[in-house]
Structures are given as C-alpha cells and as structure tokens.
Amino acid sequence: MTDAVRMSLEDVHAAAKAAMLGQGFADNHATAIANTVTAAERDECRHHGLFRLPFYVNGLRSGQASPDVEPVLTELAPGVLKVDAGYAFSPLALERGDAPLAERAKEHGIAALAVTNALNVAALWPEVERLADRGLVGFAFVSSSPYVAPAGGIKPLFGTNPMAFAWPRLDGPPVVFDQASSASARGEIQLRLRDGESLPDGWAIDSHGRPTNDPQEALLGAQMTFGGFKGSNIALMVELLAGPLLGDKISFEQAAHDKANTGAPCGGELVIALDPARFVAGGDRVAQLKHAELLFQSLLAQDGARLPSGRRYEARRRSEADGVMVPRSLVDSIESYIAG
C-alpha cells in the first residue's frame, strides 16, 4: 500500500476512540465503536474498519445519532430480550445484549435479542462470533438502505440485507459466515466508479431495468440480489426479521428517516442464539461438535474449498503480529476528528 502508516491494533483502537471522543461521543459509545472498528481492521474487513469513521461522524453531526444515550435492556418474554439503542449507533447496544442473550440461550436452549432504534454501519460477524465463543450457535439479521430490486422487479426496494451465522468448535475459533443478500456490496460499485472500471455481469440494472456494467448507471438504477429469486427471498426474510418482527423499520422507511442522507440507516437487528446441548437428549455438546468436524474436514479435503471466516482468522494472525497498514489520507482525517 503506497503512502500508508503501520499501526498496531492498540494504536488503531486508541485513534478510533480518540476520534469518536473528539467528535462528542460519550466514553462508552466511543469505546464500543472503537472495539468494532478495530476488530474489522484486525480481520482485514477494511470497509468496516477505520474507513467507516466518517459514517459515525456524519450520523452524529446530522443530529440523527445520539452521542450518549444509554441502551435500555428489557425481557419481553422468556428468552426474548430487547435492547432499545435509543437512536445511537449499534455497537454499545449489541455489547449490552451479549451476555444476557447467551445466559438466556443456555437456560432455555434458544433465545433472541431484538436490538431496535440502532444506527448500523457495521459488519455482523462480531456479534455471532461472540456467541460462538461462548459455545452457542448464532444468527444475526440486519436490513439497510433500499438499493436492491426484488427478482423480476426493477426498482430499489430491499437493503443489501446481511445475515451472519456462527458455529462453535472444540479447538479453535468458530466457523462464521457473514454475507449481504445483494450480488455485491454497494461500496464495490462505488470503488469501480472511482477507478473507472466496469461491473461484472449480474450485479446491477439501470433505471429502465436493463442489465448494466456501468457503475454510474448501476447507482442510479438498482443492485441485484445474489442467486436470482433465491437471494431475493432471503432479502425479503431479512427485511421481515429485522423490521416488522421487531416493531422497527423496513429499508425504505429507514431511508425516509435518514433525512440528512448520512448513509447510516437506523433500524432493527435480530440476533438468535441456540445452545447445542439443549437440542439432543442427554445434551452431549462435545459429540455434536465432533460430529460437525466431520463435515468441516470433508469440505477442507476438497482442493479449492475453504471454510468461511478462514480468511479473517489468517488476517487476524497477521495483524496481531505485525499491525495493519492504514492509508495516510485516512490517518489525516482521523487526526482532524481527534482535534474536534
């Protein structure tokens, strides 16, 4: 990377936290955002690392994000928890819900956490990975701004609507996937526009519904779901689980709420936790997890196949040893945020 600065993960965290404090976030929110951003840098998920700080700042400056509201945890029914984020960014609300969700899942076998009124510009793997680190199976669902046309339609309706899944392992970190239901991330289209590159087939349609490889036309038209109508149905499910189920917003309602067009949608997130030991008589969790290893081994025995999250864990090992490279322009903007 040209004109980049090497930073340790401790430095990344300190810089992200200082930037958020410099912009007016309370200490607990600044710490939670820094935790999220640092984890993304560490795992080389750079779209959700320091690169995201402007989204947090814009959300705050627009007046749409609270800098200091305390998330409120309630239990709506046995095993159904809610954290009202109070129109603040999601990391603190998710951290507050973590331990109670895991505790209820171990008690009942299954538990769910509804995070509502949260501005979400992060990846979902941290919350499901934390559950799997506690021996649980985790799912998470978030809807976002409406950029994606339903299969057969031509107008943006769905968010890029990610879902994440984590499975615990006996030895080593969990198997996790975290994927949007669109064929590509919106940022990938923006990067190709910046770099004067065309788009692969199947990513987008123009405003008349014609397939396009032109990033500008794609941004004015609509993104497509992955896998045709199957991805479209998953996007529909994510909308329902993260919106109406939780009493929160559908993607197009989130866009209407984002009056300042910050690109930081505010809505719900559903997180579900299952305790494997409660799903078999006698609860032999070790046997269940060993059984799963057979599947992983068989997959890995095929040349070219890999487990999701393998790339992240390799990146994590590198970053923990050597730190990460951060573009100088990003370091400069972080310093300006720190200055206030």
Residues that bind ligand NDP (CB under 6 A): 120-125, 142, 144, 160, 162, 177-180, 185, 306, 308-312
Around Cβ 294, how many Cβ atoms within 10 Å?
Answer: 9
Residue 330 parent element (H or E): helix 328-339
Q: Which is nearer to ligand NDP, 252 or 285 (CB)?
A: 252
Q: Which two tokens stand for residue 102?
A: 């895991």
Q: Which is nearer to ligand NDP, 244 or 310 (CB)?
A: 310
Query: Smallest distance, Å, CB 97 to ligand NDP?
Result: 16
Q: Which is nearer to ligand NDP, 291 or 306 (CB)?
A: 306
Query: Smallest distance, Å, CB 108 to ligand NDP?
Result: 27
Alpha carbon distance 329, 333 (integer Å): 6
**Class of residue 87 by CB neighbours under 10 A (exposed 0-12, middle 13-18, buried 19+):** middle
Closest CA to 224 of 149, 133, 142: 149
DSSP, res 335: H
Query: Smallest distance, Å, CB 283 to ligand NDP?
Result: 29
C-alpha of 79 from chain center: 23
Q: Which is nearer to ligand NDP, 16 or 148 (CB)?
A: 148
Query: Smallest distance, Å, CB 156 to ligand NDP?
Result: 14
Q: Pick left, alpha or beta for residue 127 (phi over 0 → left; psi -120 to 50 → alpha; otherwise beta).
A: alpha
Query: Smallest distance, Å, CB 153 to ligand NDP?
Result: 19
Q: Which is nearer to ligand NDP, 19 or 40 (CB)?
A: 40
